[in-house]
Each structure stands twice: as C-alpha cells, then as structure tokens.
Chains A and B, each alone.
Chain A
Amino acid sequence: MAERLLLRCRDIPDLRRLDVYLAHGGYEATRKALTTCSPEQLVDMVKASNLRGRGGAGFPTGLKWSFLPKQTAKPVYLAVNADESEPGTFKDRVIIEQDPHQLLEGIIISAYAIRCHTAYVYIRGEFALGAERLEAAIAEARGGGLLGRNILGTGFDLDVWVHRGAGAYICGEETGLIESLEGKRGYPRIKPPFPATHGLFGCPTIVNNVETLACVPHIVLRGADWFRSIGPEKSPGPKLFCVSGHVVRPGTYELPMGTPLREIIYTHAGGIPGDRKLKAVIPGGASMPVFTADEIDVPMDMDSVQKAGSFLGSAGIMVMDETVCMVWTCLVIERFFHHESCGQCTPCREGTGWLEKVLRRLEYGEGTATAADVALLLNIAANMTGTTICALADAAAMPARAFVTKFRAEFEQHAVLGRCPLRPVAEPPRRHAHA
C-alpha cells in the first residue's frame, strides 16, 4: 500500500495540531457522517466494511455496535480502549501521540452511530505524553466546535474525557477497563451480562480499540467497499504491525491486512541483523502462540493466522534469532502474566505463578528442575485454559503450550543439563519485590 492512512502522521509534520489536521482534510469525515448519515446508516456502513476489532480479539465492530439495546432510557457510553499493554505492541500509541484528531474523529463518528454523548478514553498510565497530547487535541477540538454541544451545528453533543490507568494490564480487558473507569479494582466482570447491555455504570457501553476507531473516518470517506477491498474480504483494511526484536528496522508499519509475515520481517523490517538465523516469531503480542522459523509464510490477517495455529492478536510481531533461549523467553512472558494476573480466578491467580516458578527452575534452577517439569508446564497450561472469567489465563497458557510444544527439545535439554545451554548466567535480580 503506497498511501499511508492510519500513519499519515509519518508524512505530514505536526499533524497532531488541529490547524495542520484541518488543512489536510481533517474532520471532513465527521462532517460527512454527521450531516449526511443517520446513525443506522453508519452502523450498516461499518458492518458492510467488515471492520474487525484491532485490540486483539478481532470481533466485528458493526456487529458489536448492533448488540446495543434498541430502546433504552439509560445513556450509552463509548469507552475507548487506549490501554495498549500487550507486550510487543505500540500501534495505538503512535496514533494517540502523533495523530490524536484521527482518533477523535473516529470517536465522534462512532459515538454518533451508537447514540452516545459521553465517551471515555481509558489510556495506559505510562502514556503520559499520549494523554497530554490527547487532552490538548480535545481542547482544540472543543474550541473549534468539533466537540461539546452542537458539533458542527448538527445538534449532536459529545463530551470526551481522558482517564489515565494506573498500570495494570488487566485494565485493557474490556470489563476490567469498565470497573477501573468506575473507580474500582480492575477485576474483569463475569459475563453475561455483556457491556453492550450492562457496561459502564450499569449502562449500555461499547468498548473499542484506538486503531479500530481510527479506521472509521476512512470508511466514512471512502466507503465500505473500498475498505473491504484491502486484504482478505473477511478481515480487511489497513493494519498497523508492530515489529520488534531481532530485525534491522523495528517499528510500526501500516500495511494491508494479509501481508505475509515473511514479507513484513524481511522486506519491511529489513530482515535479521548480522546474518543470523531466524528462530521464532510471536505474531500477535506476548499472549499469542509462537511460530517457528518454518511457519512464517502466513498472511497476517485474523483468519489466516488463526488457521496457522496462532492469532493476529494485537499484531505485535516479536522476532527472535538463533541466539535466543526459548525457555528464557517463555519465562519472561510468564513472569509478565504472573505479575499482571488480577488474582480473581483461582486457575489464573495460582497457575501464572506456578508456570513462572517451573520455568525459572528450568532456566536458572541449577539442577532442581526435572524432566517431568516439561510435561508439568503443559499440564498447568491445560488446566488454566478456558476456566476463568477473562482471557488472561488463556493468554498466559497459550504461549507456554506453544513454546513447550514447538521447542520441546530445548526445554528437555534445560532439564537434563540443569541450566540454560544458551545463557549460562546467574539469575538476574528480580525486578519486582513480588516476582
């Protein structure tokens, strides 16, 4: 794709400023949506575009919107998920920091479509710059009659509030996010009921990811058919891929959905530095099953990646070359999930810590690990799968199962040697008192 839409900020300096944004056709989509479309037409348009959620689950956005009750006396809320916390993911951050008006347009149009007059942007606590720029953009938009009462003279009212998180991965889970917005501990809620009927403050609520909403203005301007024509029809559109790890040019890339993983790594990201061999790639953020070097001929769209045994997830592509120990990588990932488990459900609360402990003794245990530990990892992961309120347990179990299954010999070698064959180093000091 020659033209960059989601990453127009790369081509237009200072696009985050309202005057620059307006000079480049900014808020035309908003004007078009609010003056020429009914909310129903917009929902239908997004449905027809086959836009699927960019947060990780890939749920059809228009369908999600249509779950809202048709008649309700309660206010409808839009909660924008800007809690981007999946390790290896840094796409929403670019939009928020460099092109916040694109997001605001998406918020305004989507809010209009779902008859919402109050939207909350739940932004990851560490995104201090993003929160600052978003607040500035909101103030500018409000000053320009693009937010607040009677937007663009259409009679549509919308307030957007920025709420900064306090540093919990789980608050990116949509009901954990809602609880946190309500001022409570970030505990995912048991479902049903779902947010579309019982969300924020018990009211109908739609939670959408930043990148998802950023797609909406482009759909309005160019049409659902255009959107559907990019990449595979069932999961189309421009897509941001976050490439990190052992590549020459790590970064965020806007490419058509369905771009082959090999092309992303070797063409766009410049391949592996130093002529080293590729060993493993995580395609969709830390929680998604890892691919071996032989498995990267996969189009990066939701259905294709799933068919290949993993998930597109947040499109956080983490590339590892031959120098990387898979046990260590798995340990780092499980340490993260152990640290981030909210502790509500038994299998996740106890299982994440257990996984980390077994991995730690395989990697650093100086002989305390046994051959049975490899099977134990798979067994713990299996017992964590599908048994909890939210998907964090699955998110922790999936990488463990994938790493052990696909690199079993390496795990077994650790058990036999009693240490890591690749990184024969002492255990580093633990980062967290609780780790």
Chain B
Amino acid sequence: MPTLEIDGQRIEVPDGLTVIQAAERLGIEIPHYCWHPGLSIAGNCRMCLVEIEKNPKLQIACNTRVADGMVVHTTSEKTKAAQRAVLEFLLINHPIDCPVCDQAGECKLQEYYMDYDRQRSRFPLPAKVRKKKAIPIGPLVMLDQERCILCARCTRFLDEVTHTSELAIYERGDHCEIELAPGKVLDNPYSGNVVDICPVGALTSRDFRFRARVWYLERAESVCGACANGCNIEIYHREGRIFRFQPRQNVAVNQYWMCDAGRLSYRDLQGAGRLTHPLVRGEDEFVPSTWASAIGQVAGRLGDLAREHGPGAVGIVVSAHAPNEEVFLLRRLAAALGARVAAVSWSPPGAFHDDFLVKADKNPNTAGLRLQGLAPDGALDDLLGAASAGRLQALVLHRTDPTTWRDAAAVRPALERVPCLVVLDTDRREASEYADVVLPIATYAECDGTFTNHAGRVQRFHAAVQPPGEARPGWFVLGELVSRLTGGRPYESAEATFAALAEECAPFGGLGYGPLGSEGQSAARAGT
C-alpha cells in the first residue's frame, strides 16, 4: 500500500487508487468536471490539474495513480493558477445566463468560479460562440448547447451504463456540441440520470426546471418505493411539497443512478386523492372524525368481533408497500385479535424490468414481508372468499385495494358483505368507499421507516414532508391500535418500533436505525 502526501497530510491508500480518490479520503476535494466515479476516465476538463513534485508538468488527479512517496499540492500557486486558467477558458464562451438557468444554485461552474476563480472576464460578450438553446431531446431532458462544457459525462453514461448512445459530440474545437445521434431520442429508461451528472446547466430536467430554485429546497435521505430494488434517493422538498427525487450514491444498490419511472414516482405520493382525516361511516356518508374516536371505534369493533367469534373472525391484508415497522405492528395486531393475515405483493403483469436496476416486483418491501414470515400466497383468496361467504367478521386492508388489481367484480361482494371493513391507506380508492372506518396514513416520504429490498438489504427512509391534514405515520396509527387492544404502551417512534422488531424477529436481529446508517445493511448478515 503506497503512502503519499497531499497538502502536507500523509495517507496510506490501496494500490491503483488515483490521486483524486486518495484526496477524497483525506476530505480534500480536488475540483473536477469530467471525472465521475461511475464512469470511465475522460481526463478532458483539466480542472483537476495538480502539482505533483518531481513532475515538470501539472498532472490530472483523475488519471494519475498514486505512488509511494508522491507529494501532491492541491493549493499551491501553480495549481491555483491552472484552476483559474481552466475556469477562464470554460467561461469565455459560456453564456453566463445564470439568472434564467435552472442549474443555478447547483452549478459547478458557479461554485468553482466562486471557489477558485473570481476574475473579471477578459472576453468581449459579442465574441462568444453561439449555439442552440432549449432543445427538448427526450421526454425528460432539455439541452442547452451553449452552457455545455463538453465534459462528456452524459455521452459516457449513455455509452457505458445504458449502452444506448443517444448523444454524441459533434463538430470540433470550440464549435463542439452535444447533439442527439441521427434518428435517436433520449428516451431510455434511465435518461434522467444525465441531468444529475451534468455539472452545469446544459442538461436540465423538463419535469423539474423552473418549478423551484434549488436553494429553497430541503433534502431528505430516502429509498425509492417504485420497485423492489430500493434505489437510494434524496427527496427534494419545500413547504410540504416534493419537487423531485434524485439518486443517492449506494454502490451496493444503485451505484449513482435511478430509473426514470422511480424518479417520477414522487408524483404518486402527492396525488389529488390523498386522505386527510380519519373517516367514520355515519348514517350514510363518511363523517370526519378525530384520531382518538376513530382508533377507539376500530379497536372496539375489532376487539368485540374477535372476542365474540373467536380466532379467524378478523382478516388482515398487508401489502408489500408497508414498511417493516408497519408489518411488525400488523402482526402484533393480528396476534391480539387472533386474526388471519394475508400478505400481498402485486405488480402489474408485463411491467417493465431489466437486469440493471428496475425490478419486476413493483413493491418496495416484499422481502421484508417474507423475512417476517409473511410470504405472499393464496391467503388473500381465502379471506375474500370467507368474506363473500359471510364467514369473516372484519377485514383490515393495509396499503392495498384489491379492487384496483384484481377482478373488481369479484372483490366487491367481499367488501360489501364483511360486517366491518377498516382501511388504512394514503389515498382514497374504491375499497375505502366500502369501509366503516378509513384511517389516513403517511406515504414513505412522510414518515420514518425501513424497506427491505429484493436482495434482503434493510434500508432507512426519512420523513421529508408532513403528512397532509390529519394523516399520521402508519407505525403511529398501528401502534395506537395495538396499544388499545393489548394495554401495552405504544412505541414512541419508528425507530423504537424497529428496535422491537429486531428484538423479536431473527433476520432483523442486531439491526437498528443507528447501524443501518444511510446505506442500509443486509438482513441476512445481521446478527452475525
């Protein structure tokens, strides 16, 4: 393992590492545009030129392998002069249209100009090379050729990651431009990633642009719920609204990327049909209720029916959209009521999937269900059959509406016939119309919790925004319900709920919110 010195700090690093990576380990950021850890090394932007002793010329830190005894200076006068020179070159033909550029606030040209340059322009405005602006190149991406610094991150992503090569660099010299290849449209299932990796305002998101200045947005670490892969994401939000999802680095799960479907799935979390108040059926229509009253009624009804009719009188349907914590509490609820539990994990048949990130299983927590002993099987048929036949006294639907994905005509009689139907969900759907009580719960963007992805990796998500109206986190609602039925104290947080799960359920043993960190841990490995 070579030992080198960077800015006076010594560090021993594995062989084969580059200077830029070694510096990163010391917390030293060497400015760069073209280098990206998920792509091949292009070495073209020249922003990472650094002084390395015994080298007559400055070297690019991205392509220089560490060597024993190497002495690197990232802040020497020679390095600083090169950084200023490269930034000046990058800016001479740049339109500097920051006031109308959506990248402003997260633009590496802006940031590095402030950090490393701060010179007045020596280039007259009329002399700038003009190129095309605001060209839609795909459903998600807008191209501005003038802002492009030709770092080739996008073309390398499309060549090396998606192997679709929709974009290429045309022309030469300062007339070079990114452009669609003839006959192509940037519409592969991962197209949005080019916006994330574009360090400047050349590629912007048609979905997000001009909807918010990024400096007004807050971020929360989360996990995409659109499929079983569990891509790590950041949720950008402001004043209770989600503006975008962006992938968050997790080399073991999604590297640096996410699919377009997942990226746009934030829309599903803030639809027009969100439930905002507990609803209890009055004479005819729903009447908004307080949580105390609604939970009291549900606990009372379910408890009574279970006592009167014995084990199996209550059925609980838990979907693979439920976080691990809610699954745990539903199992507690089932135990308290002697209820039958049916686990469901439904995905649209023929839904897109590939061998990269997108999984055929469109549920974020199928593996979590299985690890808690709830393999999706035919139990739902039994429950619905029993309900239709009048043999089921109460049915609890948690985060699922079978009418939306099964033959609705066959499901309806069960929902109509069952004497007590309780629906816990985020949105108003057909099943909730039959419910006696509807309990509005939070989406995963609105509460803390964990999903277990297809590979058994348990990953945390954090509440980004408040649930709408009176909606509450599922762990809170279920915890209250269990508490009413058992007399025990409800868990005070998602974390405490998870701790109880880890205590009780072997695959989760040894895990906790602390150890899970921001990249999660494998449930299979837990406890060993």
Contacts and interface: CB of A to CB of B under 8 A. Distances in A.
Contact of A434 (B89, B92, B171): B171
- What's the dominant secondary structure at chain B's contact region? loop
Interface string A347-358: 111111110010
A354 B123 contact: yes
Given A347-B89, A387-B85, A338 B49 contact: no
B482 to A, nearest CB: 61
Interface stretch (B7-15, B66-74, B173-181): B173-181
B44 A346 contact: yes
Interface residues of B, number: 34
B89 A346 contact: yes
A383 B89 contact: yes
Nearest to B60: A190
A75 interface: no
B39 interface: no
B100 interface: no
Interface of B: 41-47, 49, 56-58, 60, 63, 82, 85-86, 88-90, 92-93, 122-123, 127, 129, 149-150, 169, 171-176
A309 interface: no
B173 A346 contact: no
7 contacts: A343-B173, A345-B45, A346-B150, A350-B174, A354-B123, A383-B89, A434-B173
Contacts of A342: 172-173
A304 interface: no
A66 interface: no
A340 interface: yes
Return the 4 tightest CB-CB contacts between A and B, nearest first.
Answer: A343-B176, A383-B85, A350-B89, A341-B173
Given A347-B86, A386-B58, A434-B173, 20 more contacts: A190-B63, A339-B173, A340-B172, A341-B174, A342-B172, A342-B173, A343-B173, A343-B176, A344-B150, A346-B150, A347-B85, A351-B89, A352-B174, A353-B173, A354-B89, A383-B85, A383-B88, A387-B46, A387-B49, A387-B57
A352 B169 CA distance: 18
Contact of A387 (B56, B86, B173): B86
Contact of A349 (B49, B56, B176): B176
A171 to B, nearest CB: 11
A386 B57 contact: yes
A121 to B, nearest CB: 24
Interface centre among B47, B58, B174, B176 (most CB of A within 10 A): B174
A190 B58 CA distance: 14
Contacts of A376: 122
A185 interface: yes
Nearest to B168: A185
B113 to A, nearest CB: 14
B174 A343 contact: yes
A16 to B, nearest CB: 34
A209 to B, nearest CB: 23
Contact of B149 (A338, A346, A353): A346
B212 to A, nearest CB: 31
A156 B231 CA distance: 57
Contact of B43 (A185, A357, A389): A389
Contacts of B46: 345-347, 387-388
B43 A343 contact: no
Contacts of B122: 376
B389 to A, nearest CB: 69
Contacts of A346: 44-47, 86, 89-90, 149-150
Contact of B174 (A338, A383, A389): A338
Contacts of A185: 169
A386 B86 CA distance: 12
A340 B172 CA distance: 7
Given A350-B89, A383-B85, A340 B173 contact: yes
